Chains A and B, each alone.
Chain A
Amino acid sequence: MLTTRAWSWTAEPGFNVTVTNPTDAELVESCLAGRRESFDVLVERHQRHVYQLCYRFVGNHEDASDLAQDVFIRAYRGLKSFQGQAALGTWLYRIGVNVCLNKVAARTPVPDALDPLLAASDERIASPAESATDTLLRGERAVQVRAAIAKLPNKQRATLILRVYHELPHEEIAGILGSSVGAVKANFFHALNNLKKLMREAGCDPGRNR
């Protein structure tokens, strides 16, 4: 069983092969050499980001959990076609975005936090000075923002999630979405503009409550 720390072995006499702290590329090679346990390490390494990406698309734990599992299974099936031209994390994001967009196209996601109080508890820990009313208002806004993001067109939504919440550079987002950096920036611009409009329609003007 591999660990995330290190592995080393000595092959035939004359070959001294040592691999320490395996990189993603080394683990992929190891998987392709038939060692399934190497994939476990990759899953452990990337599951948090993949799960968070899925959660941001579907807004609830159950679906996010199933989608994250689906992303990894698809990644395993497609591992032999992974050419290493992008980082494995980028490739997983690409699979994740596709899986999530297919899912949300199939049905409307059901967010966990419909209750503003629950939504507020999802966010940053409230300061001791924050009143119950403030907490409630903050929760309401979080629900409205999430609902507005869920209504954005697919590419704008994916761009906004990857840029704002995963803090990926525009270049990497372009690689994930298969578009140019210029197109990513344009999508981001329209995503923010549309988000503002959607929030206004919901009676919540961005920037009014900072």
Chain B
Amino acid sequence: MKTPHLSESEFVDLAEDAFDPRRAAHVETCAACRDQADALRGTLREALSVEEVPEPSPVFWEQLSARVRAEVAAEPVAARSGWRWVPVRGLVAFAAAAALVVAVLSGVLLMRGVRGGDTSSPLVADRLAVPPAPTRPDTTPDAENTEVWAVLTAAASSVAFEDAHDAGMRVHPGAIEHAVQGLTAAELTELGRLLQSELKRSLN
């Protein structure tokens, strides 16, 4: 049975020694394909014979860098505007994590207020417009706190590691938790506000 001639793609594969061996039988029996393949190989060899680009003087590279540096200095800073584009799947995951962080943060702050008796700071839950956590007397605040922090750490760490991974950085596990613990009530309020605003923006 007669097999079809090689396609353009197959000729390229043949010239580059990446040919499908199942088609070798055709090349052996078809003089036209063999001639075409030989011509292609010859031209490829010819093109390769002028491979080298003359090497510029050693100072050229420094000069080129300096010229680019001077031009770049006159440009506005190439800062990313707003948040980075993320694939829809990543956006959903981020939105869910952000929602979780907002909700849990509000709970944590409420508990912090109850435990520490700090009534000077406004309730974050009010500022966040998230339904406030129940203020019923709590007989096991530490156990709940542990749970809350576990969820918060998991959610916050997940988000931070994505960002850190994108940025190519390594963030030590637990760093986010420590950072959040170190925030003042006002800073936590601001964090909550930012997260909520980003969450709204990402869902629009």
- Please report which residues of chain B, range 124-180, place their CB below 8 angstroms from some CB of chain A when the two chains form the complex: 166-172, 175, 178-179
Provide the bound-state CA to CA distance between A182 and B52, in Å: 28
Asked if B178 and A14 sit within 8 Å, CB to CB, the answer is: yes
Residues of B within 8 A of A (CB): 8-9, 11-13, 15, 38-54, 56, 60-61, 64-65, 67-69, 71-73, 75, 77-81, 85, 166-172, 175, 178-179, 182
Contacts of A84 in B (CB 8 A): 166
Residues of A within 8 A of B (CB): 12-19, 22-23, 25-26, 29, 31-34, 36, 39-40, 43-44, 47-48, 51-52, 55-56, 61, 65, 68-69, 72-73, 76-77, 79-80, 83-84, 112-113, 122-124, 138, 141-142, 145-146, 149, 160, 164-165, 182, 185-186, 188-190, 192-193, 195-196, 199, 206-207, 210
Asked if B69 and A141 sit within 8 Å, CB to CB, the answer is: no
22 contacts between A and B (CB under 8 A): A14-B178, A16-B172, A18-B169, A19-B168, A19-B169, A32-B78, A33-B79, A36-B77, A36-B78, A40-B69, A47-B64, A61-B56, A76-B68, A122-B54, A123-B50, A123-B52, A195-B46, A196-B43, A199-B46, A206-B46, A207-B45, A210-B45
Q: Considering residues B39, B64, B179, B182, which has the most beta carbons from chain A within 10 angstroms of its beta carbon?
A: B64
Provide the bound-state CA to CA distance between A122 and B189, in Å: 66
